[in-house]
Every structure is written in C-alpha cells, then in structure tokens.
Amino acid sequence: MTSSKTILRALAGETLPTPPIWMMRQAGR
C-alpha cells in the first residue's frame, strides 16, 4: 500500500474509515 496513493485518493475526496492523522503529518512536512 503506497501512502502517496492514499494521499492522492484522500485529496480526491475519498472518505477514509480512519482519521487522516498521517495526512496532517505529511502536510506538516
């Protein structure tokens, strides 16, 4: 599972069952 793909999917507007904490951490970088 590629995190980049997950981020792209999340950005696309997909709803993830888990809170996008990793997304916030990635954005922080």
CA angle 12, 18, 23 (to 5 degrees): 55
pLDDT confidence of residue 1: 59
Which DSSP symbol is given to 19?
-
Question: CA 5 → CA 1, 8, distances in Å?
Answer: 8, 5
* Number of domains within the chain: 1
pLDDT digits (tens, 9 = 90+) for 1-29: 577 887 777 777 666 666 667 666 766 55
| Closest residue by Cα to residue 14 from 23, 25, 2, 6 | 6
Are 23 and 10 in contact, with CB atoms under 8 Å apart? yes
Please state, as a whole number, how many other Cβ atoms lie within 10 Å of the Cβ of residue 1: 4
Query: Is the pTM for the entire model greater than 0.95?
Result: no
Segments forming the whole domain that contains residue 9? 1-29
> Looking at residue 11, what is its pLDDT?
72
